[in-house]
């Protein structure tokens, strides 16, 4: 570069300092633009959160929530818990599920019908114990059919599994909750 050779050492030094200053100034401008973008993004997030909070605050009127809760509880009670859980229907469900899966059903006992308070509601609980025998696939199919049966308030509890030859034996307690 012949034009640089004509400049004195002092002029080259000043030219170098100007170049460094320009690069530094450009870098500082870039950082400022990045920070401004982050600030705008944060402001948008804060605005969105404020709007959401305002909507939630308006919707959280305690009295309307109590009414909504009562409505939901009433709907849940009607939808899930039958008025009665007659043991004949329960036995029919068990027999059907065991036949469909090829499972051997034995030792069925109705333990008790007891009253139980859950939350603000009182329920009758039909407690039963049974024993089934089959392969793991049959046991899974059986439990799946119970879950999808007409008693949506059926709870399987206290499952005890034991291997028997090439099958498994399961002893389990079943509870069916009803409103009477």
- List the CATH code of the domain at 81-178: 3.30.70.60
The ranges assigned to domains in the chain are: 2-59, 81-178
Distance CA 89, CA 161 (A): 26
167 neighbors 153 (Cβ within 8 angstroms) = no
Which of 92, 93, 102, 155 shows the shortest CA–CA distance to 132?
102
The pTM assigned to this predicted structure is 0.51
Contact between residue 92 and residue 108 where contact means Cβ atoms under 8 Å apart: no
Instruction: For 8-59, write each residue's pLDDT tens digit.
Output: 888 888 888 888 888 888 888 888 888 877 777 778 877 777 777 766 656 5
Question: How far is the first Cα of the chain from the last one, in angstroms, to the nearest whole number?
Answer: 101
Residues 6+ apart with CB under 8 A from 85: 124, 126, 151, 153, 176, 177, 178
- Strand extents, DSSP E, 64-166: 104-118, 121-134, 154-164
pLDDT digits (tens, 9 = 90+) for 116-169: 888 888 888 888 889 999 999 999 999 888 888 877 788 888 889 999 888 999
Per residue in 160-172, pLDDT (tens digit) is: 999 988 899 999 9
pLDDT band at residue 79 under the 50/70/90 scheme: very low
Exposure b/e, 81-106, CB count within 10 A at least 16 = b: bbeebeeeebeebbeebbeebebebe
């Amino acid at each position: 570069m012949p034009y640089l050779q004509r400049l004195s050492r002092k002029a080259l030094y000043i030219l170098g300092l100007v170049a460094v200053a320009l690069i530094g100034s450009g870098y500082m401008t870039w950082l400022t633009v990045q920070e401004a973008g982050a600030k705008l993004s944060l402001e948008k997030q804060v605005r969105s959160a404020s709007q959401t909070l305002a909507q939630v605050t308006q919707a959280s009127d305690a009295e309307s929530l109590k009414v909504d809760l009562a409505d939901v509880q009433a709907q849940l009670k009607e939808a899930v818990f039958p008025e009665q859980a007659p043991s004949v229907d329960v036995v029919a469900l068990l027999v059907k599920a065991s036949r469909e899966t090829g499972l051997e059903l034995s030792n069925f006992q109705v333990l008790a019908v007891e009253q139980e308070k859950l939350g603000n509601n009182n329920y009758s609980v039909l407690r039963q114990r049974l024993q089934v025998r089959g392969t793991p696939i049959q046991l899974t199919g059986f439990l799946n059919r119970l879950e999808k049966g007409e008693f949506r308030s059926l709870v399987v509890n206290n499952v005890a599994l034991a291997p028997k030859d090439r099958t498994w034996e399961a002893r389990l307690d079943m509870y069916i909750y009803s409103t009477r």
